[in-house]
Amino acid sequence: DADVTQTPRNRITKTGKRIMLECSQTKGHDRMYWYRQDPGLGLRLIYYSFDVKDINKGEISDGYSVSRQAQAKFSLSLESAIPNQTALYFCATSDLTPNNEQFFGPGTRLTVL
Amino acid sequence: DAKTTQPNSMESNEEEPVHLPCNHSTISGTDYIHWYRQLPSQGPEYVIHGLTSNVNNRMASLAIAEDRKSSTLILHRATLRDAAVYYCIRNSGNTPLVFGKGTRLSVIA
């Protein structure tokens, strides 16, 4: 079984709808991240959490919110989706080591019409 | 701000070595140099990391300049499976990784 899972894997929605993307991990890591990737570009950080009570904004947090329900779960919400939020979304986890190796989920492809 | 500079793309013949360069001239003393790669339709995956000394693992080697302002990821024998976008990242371990656009490596059979 995959260590980092994301649901759904694909989603098509309409402008104005509320969408939740979910991430679960079985690695026992404290740190979790949400990134967004647009075609031809690198990943941009949306939000991150270093433990259950910690939430931090990333580079592009406007229009998004997150919830860290437990160590293993980190959800990303789009309160009112808009077309320029169409992108590939990745969740990642890491442990507290200098290595800071991040483990990524398979991604969720979101299309907002 | 990715704080590293990489060529947009590189090409290699299959079974030949590949040297992927990265400049990080403003690196601080506590920053590690990380390399990740992203295969088509997948999330990024860790390749290797180092601080000051050259590093080897089963995937690749990392050569770090003595002044630490640049580094090179070395794939000893490129295969078609190595075609990916390679990201060079400097990070102290206390903050999330910042990804630039990386280098797109094409491997020619």
How do residues A39-79 score in pLDDT, each as one tens digit?
A: 878 899 999 999 998 999 999 999 999 999 899 999 999 99
- pLDDT band at B2; cut points 50, 70, 90: low
- B86 at the A interface (CB within 8 A)? no
> Which pLDDT belongs to residue A95?
86
Number of residues in chain B = 109
The pair of structure tokens assigned to B105 is 């490596």
Do B96 and A42 lie within an 8 Å CB cutoff?
Answer: no
Residue A85 predicted with pLDDT over 60: yes
Alpha-helix runs per DSSP H in B1-109: none
Do B101 and A41 lie within an 8 Å CB cutoff?
Answer: yes
Do A35 and B99 lie within an 8 Å CB cutoff?
Answer: yes
Do A45 and B32 lie within an 8 Å CB cutoff?
Answer: no
- The 10s digit of each residue's pLDDT in A18-41 is 999 999 999 999 999 999 999 878
Average pLDDT, integer, range B73-92: 95
> Which pLDDT belongs to residue A98?
65
Average pLDDT, integer, range A8-23: 97
> Which pLDDT belongs to residue A26?
96
Cβ neighbours of B102 in A, within 8 Å: 42
d(CA A84, CA B81): 32
> Which pLDDT belongs to residue A42?
85
> Which pLDDT belongs to residue A87?
97
Residue A97 predicted with pLDDT over 80: no
Residue B1 predicted with pLDDT over 60: no
- Taking the mean position of all CA atoms in its chain, how far away is CA A97? 21
